[in-house]
Structure formats: structure tokens, C-alpha cells
């Protein structure tokens, strides 16, 4: 275990590098204009330090690359699938593994298999693709996370916790028959990579199971959550990451996994199911949308790297350094007075755009504008997690105006150094120092689904009111 009283360093050395290029401010101004002020539409070549996402952007280890050479590219029954299946069973304990090309394919399948028209799905805060698949299957997501999760400045060690009274109220209101499952994420992405405690997860699992309701686990960042349980939850300080991860999974019936995060691979995921009948249905479905049930859209070599990544993800020195780098960046930014989400979470530093740009109305998308401004300043790419990501309320059609209006600086695993973090912090602080001059944005193109990926915007001057920009306010704030 690293000694906390002394400096510590990444538990690896670098043996292959990819050059990155710094552009001029004028080049970046033109790039962001071409990208419609959406950092998703920038070309990666025009980015200096890429903190858009930690999804599929991590560096694989030498062992994972060696595994890539061992790909068994048979259409059916690839050896690599069985290695992946063994790794999932060993580490997480789920009985059946249905491979998918990435996480949202698993979300699609479980939503289609379990949700009926008019059902409700309680969860600890929405995630964009998860909620959309629930809605497309005829369901309605209901947020049952604790209130603190929606308050960026409030300190709470487990902001990913479920408010048990809220969950009980949903069960009382709709009845267990209309709740196919409770959807619980570990390391909740949309509120800043915040963990759920084992104590709370156990209570949720008990409540669901007593009512005959399944528990579906979005386990995308379960190892990161486990680290914070080890550090913050009573009685877990001496338990291993592997042990904590297993204790979490044992509380749940089904899991969806985007291996592009915890598993340190560039593509891949799976649906894991304990019930054999449900697994058969999922296997029958995967052949329609993804590929045979022994590859599910991945190459054999991808499954091999994934299997190795599962074991690497629960290595303490890895996960400690991974989250430690996020905290290094977060403290550096916060020490300069920049408002961020507290506590600092696991996979990124989340800037609080409402407090950063209080003069920009939420319907002029302050977080989107701030992400664009940081890019122009330094070539650092981040992403909006606020009113654009949240989308429109299906009933009112208005922007959802979530309480959290955030810019996410997301750290790929094992990719950037401490010097890169210093550059990022310097840029954010410089933008903070001239924040009064930053205005908002308005849509020029708004796609129907997951609009944050492909929307385009144009700037409106600082001080513009939404109504002057032709925007009528319809939706009421949601929590
Ligand atoms: C919490 C969470 N769930 C699900 C997904 C969806 O996974 P994928 O992007 O692999 O489809 C993501 C991806 O960002 C995520 O962060």
C-alpha cells in the first residue's frame, strides 16, 4: 500500500508514446466554430489534452497488448470469450455473460427484455443512454438519489446513495408490479463520479428483493466506487478492492457493463445475468443486434484484452493512482477558488458552471459555453454535463434544466502525466479569471436523441436573456 506521508507516483512506466500537438488560439477558434461549439464535434487532431471522456480512451497494459496477439477469431466459441466469461464469474460472480460491443447495447437489451409500457424504473440519478433506453422501451425513469447529489457544494461521502424513503414512496405509488427493476449505478457519473456505500446498497437491495423487484447494476466504474468505500466506509479499510467489488455485485441480479471504463479497453462490454431463463432470452436477443452470443460485436482479441483488464481493474495500486490523479487535478483547480463539485469524485473533475458563469441563463447553456471556452484557451477538451445532456422533458418538451450544470474534465486511465494536469489547471484558472466576458450559446441544430453528442450552437453575447435569443421557457426545473 502506498505510503500517504510521502510523494507517490504512477505504478507503471511508459514504453510507447503518441505525439500530441499544441495549436494556436486562432486555429482553435476556427476549429470550435466549425464544430458548432460542441466539443464532441472537434477533430481529435485539433485537441491538445483530451479530457472529453474516460470511455475507451485508456492506455492498455503490455499484458493486454500481448493478449491482443492471442485473439481466437473464430466466429463461434472463441477461446477468448471463455476467458472473459471466467474473469466475469471469478471477479464479479455473475453466472451468465452476454458480450456486447459496449455498455449501451447491454442497456438496450435489458430494457427491452424487462420493461413494459407504463413501467417505472427508479435509479440513483439518470445516465443519458440508460434513461433513453428505458424510455424507448416504454418506461419512465424516477430519480431516487439523495438530495445532496444535486447540490454540488455539499460535502457527503456517498452522494451516490439512494434515499430509501424516496424508493419506498415510488414502490407505494406505482406498486411493485410496475417496477421491473431498480437501476443502481456505482460511481454515479452525472453527479461527479460519486460513490454509493455498501450499507446503502445493501438496504436498497433488501427493499427491492422484499418487494420482488430485481436490482440491475450499472457497474461501469465499480472498482472506482470500491476504492472510495475502502477509504470512507467504516469497517472496509482493511478489505481488498476485489472483495469490496464482489460484495457489491452479490447484492444485484443483473449488470450492464461498459468495459471502456474500468476494464481499460478501447471497446467492449457485456450484460451479466444470474437468472438462466433471462440469460437465454438475452442470448437470443444479442444475435439480432450485436452478433453471436460468444462475441457480441467484439473481436476475439478485444475479449482477451477485456478479460485481462478485469483483473487489472481491481489492483489496488492501479485504482489508487487512477483516482489519485483525479484528486490532484481537482485540488489544484479548487485551490484557486474555482467552483467544482465536492467531494472530488473518481473519474473526473466537474466544474460547477452555474457558479462559474452565474450571469449566463441555464437555457443559454453555460456549461456548453464554458467547455468551448476552455478549448479555445488551451486546446484542452472537456464535455458538458448539464442542460444539453439532460435533454427535453418528453411531456412538456422544454429543456429539463437540471440542478447540476457541469463541465466534466474526464481523465483517461494511464494516459496523461502530472505535467498535463498542471496545464489543465492553469487553463481552467485563466478562464475563471476572465469569466465575466463569457456569454452563452443557442442551438442551430438539435438532434432528437442524445442531443449533446451532435448538437450545434452559435454564441450569444454575454448578458443576453433567453427570451431575447428566441427561447421560450417551458420546463420546470427537475432535481
Ligand atoms: C455510467 C455509465 N453507464 C453507461 C454508459 C454507456 O456505456 P457505452 O458508452 O459503452 O455505451 C456510460 C458511458 O459513458 C456510463 O458512464
Q: Which of 385, 400, 414, 435 is catalytic?
A: 385
- pLDDT tens sequence across 250-269: 999 999 999 999 999 999 99
SS3 category, 405: coil
From the CB of 103, is ligand 1 less than 6 Å away? yes
Say whether 230 is catalytic. Answer: no
**Non-local CB neighbours of 391 within 8 Å, separated by 6+ positions:** 128, 399, 400, 450, 451, 452
- pLDDT tens sequence across 382-410: 999 999 999 999 889 999 999 999 999 99
pLDDT at 475: 39
83-87, 281-285, 317-321, 463-467, range with the lowest pLDDT: 463-467
- pLDDT tens sequence across 407-447: 999 999 999 999 999 999 999 999 999 999 999 999 999 99
pLDDT at 344: 97
Say whether 261 is catalytic. Answer: yes
Whether the predicted pLDDT of 477 surpasses 60:
no
pLDDT at 474: 42
278-281-282-283 Cα dihedral, nearest 10 degrees: 120
CB 414, CB 264: distance < 8 Å: yes
**pTM of the predicted model as reported, rounded to 2 decimal places:** 0.95
Banded pLDDT at 138 (limits 50, 70, 90): very high
Tell me, in angstroms, the distance from the centre of ligand 1 to residue 129's CA.
7
Partnered with residue 456 across adjacent β-strands are 445
Please tell me the number of Cα atoms within 13 Å of 473 on its side-chain side: 12
pLDDT at 479: 35
Tell me, in angstroms, the distance from the centre of ligand 1 to residue 466's CA.
31
pLDDT at 8: 79
- What integer is the mean pLDDT of 64-75? 98
pLDDT at 111: 98
pLDDT at 427: 98
Banded pLDDT at 91 (limits 50, 70, 90): very high
Cα gap 448→455, rounded to integer Å = 9
**Non-local CB neighbours of 368 within 8 Å, separated by 6+ positions:** 37, 38, 384, 386, 387, 388, 441, 457
From the CB of 389, is ligand 1 less than 6 Å away? no
Q: Of all atoms in ligand 1, which is nearest to the CA of residue 218?
A: 3
CB 94, CB 88: distance < 8 Å: yes
Banded pLDDT at 151 (limits 50, 70, 90): very high
Distances (CA, A) of 39 to 120, 199, 337, 364: 33, 38, 25, 16
From the CB of 297, is ligand 1 less than 6 Å away? no
pLDDT at 260: 98
Question: Of 217, 209, 275, 264, which Cα lies nearest the Cα of 245?
Answer: 217
- Dihedrals φ, ψ of 341, to 5°? -80, 130
- What integer is the mean pLDDT of 360-372? 97
Partnered with residue 140 across adjacent β-strands are 120
CB 229, CB 244: distance < 8 Å: yes
pLDDT at 467: 66
CB 367, CB 384: distance < 8 Å: yes
pLDDT at 462: 73
Q: Which of 131, 159, 221, 261 is catalytic?
A: 261
Whether the predicted pLDDT of 66 surpasses 60:
yes
From the CB of 246, is ligand 1 less than 6 Å away? no
SS3 category, 309: helix
Whether the predicted pLDDT of 461 surpasses 90:
no
- What integer is the mean pLDDT of 96-105? 98
pLDDT at 464: 78
Q: Of all atoms in ligand 1, which is nearest to the CA of residue 258?
A: 10
Question: Of 356, 410, 352, which Cα lies nearest the Cα of 383?
Answer: 410
Question: Would you give the DSSP letter of residue 178?
Answer: G
Amino acid at each position: 500500500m502506498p505510503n500517504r506521508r510521502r510523494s507517490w507516483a504512477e505504478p507503471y512506466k511508459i514504453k510507447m508514446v503518441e505525439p500530441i500537438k499544441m495549436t494556436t488560439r486562432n486555429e482553435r477558434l476556427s476549429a470550435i466554430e466549425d464544430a458548432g461549439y460542441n466539443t464532441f464535434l472537434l477533430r481529435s487532431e485539433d485537441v491538445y489534452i483530451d479530457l472529453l471522456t474516460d470511455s475507451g480512451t485508456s492506455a492498455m497494459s503490455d499484458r493486454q497488448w500481448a493478449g491482443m496477439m492471442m485473439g481466437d477469431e473464430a466466429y463461434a466459441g472463441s477461446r477468448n470469450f471463455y476467458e472473459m466469461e471466467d474473469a466475469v464469474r471469478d471477479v464479479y460472480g455473475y453466472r451468465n455473460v452476454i458480450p456486447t460491443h459496449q455498455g449501451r447495447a447491454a442497456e438496450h437489451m435489458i430494457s427491452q427484455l424487462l420493461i413494459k409500457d407504463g413501467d417505472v424504473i427508479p435509479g440513483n440519478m439518470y445516465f443519458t443512454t440508460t434513461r433513453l433506453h428505458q424510455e424507448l422501451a416504454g418506461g419512465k425513469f424516477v430519480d431516487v438519489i439523495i438530495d445532496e447529489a444535486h447540490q454540488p457544494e455539499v460535502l457527503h461521502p456517498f452522494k451516490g446513495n439512494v434515499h430509501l424513503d424516496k424508493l419506498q414512496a415510488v414502490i407505494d405509488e406505482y406498486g411493485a408490479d410496475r417496477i421491473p427493476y431498480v437501476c443502481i449505478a456505482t460511481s454515479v457519473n452525472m453527479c461527479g463520479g460519486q460513490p454509493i456505500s455498501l450499507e446503502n446498497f445493501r438496504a436498497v437491495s433488501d427493499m427491492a428483493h422484499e418487494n420482488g423487484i430485481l436490482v440491475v447494476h450499472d457497474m461501469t466504474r465499480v472498482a472506482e466506487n470500491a476504492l472510495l468505500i475502502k477509504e470512507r466506509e467504516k469497517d472496509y479499510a482493511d478489505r481488498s478492492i476485489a472483495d469490496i467489488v464482489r460484495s457489491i455485485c452479490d447484492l444485484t441480479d443483473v449488470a450492464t457493463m461498459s468495459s471502456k471504463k474500468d476494464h481499460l479497453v478501447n471497446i467492449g462490454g457485456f450484460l451479466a445475468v444470474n437468472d438462466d431463463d433471462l440469460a437465454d432470452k438475452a442470448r437470443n436477443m444479442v444475435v439480432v443486434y450485436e452478433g453471436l452470443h460468444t462475441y457480441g460485436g467484439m473481436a476475439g482479441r478485444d475479449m482477451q484484452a477485456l478479460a485481462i483488464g478485469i483483473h487489472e481493474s481491481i489492483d489496488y495500486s492501479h485504482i489508487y493512482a487512477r483516482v489519485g490523479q483525479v484528486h490532484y487535478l481537482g485540488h489544484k483547480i479548487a485551490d484557486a477558488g474555482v467552483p467544482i463539485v465536492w467531494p472530488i469524485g473518481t473519474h473526473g473533475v466537474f466544474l460547477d458552471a452555474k457558479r462559474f458563469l452565474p450571469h449566463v441563463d441555464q437555457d443559454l447553456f453555460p456549461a456548453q459555453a464554458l467547455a468551448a471556452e476552455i478549448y479555445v484557451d488551451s486546446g484542452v477538451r472537456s464535455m458538458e454535463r448539464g442542460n444539453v445532456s439532460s435533454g427535453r422533458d418528453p411531456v412538456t418538451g422544454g429543456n429539463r434544466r437540471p440542478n447540476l450544470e457541469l463541465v466534466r474534465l474526464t481523465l483517461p486511465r494511464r494516459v496523461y502525466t502530472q505535467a498535463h494536469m498542471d496545464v489543465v489547471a492553469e487553463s481552467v484558472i485563466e478562464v475563471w479569471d476572465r469569466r465575466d466576458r463569457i456569454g452563452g450559446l443557442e442551438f442551430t441544430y438539435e438532434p432528437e436523441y442524445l442531443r449533446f453528442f451532435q448538437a450545434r450552437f452559435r454564441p450569444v453575447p454575454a448578458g443576453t436573456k433567453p427570451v431575447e435569443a428566441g427561447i421560450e421557457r417551458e420546463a420546470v426545473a427537475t432535481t
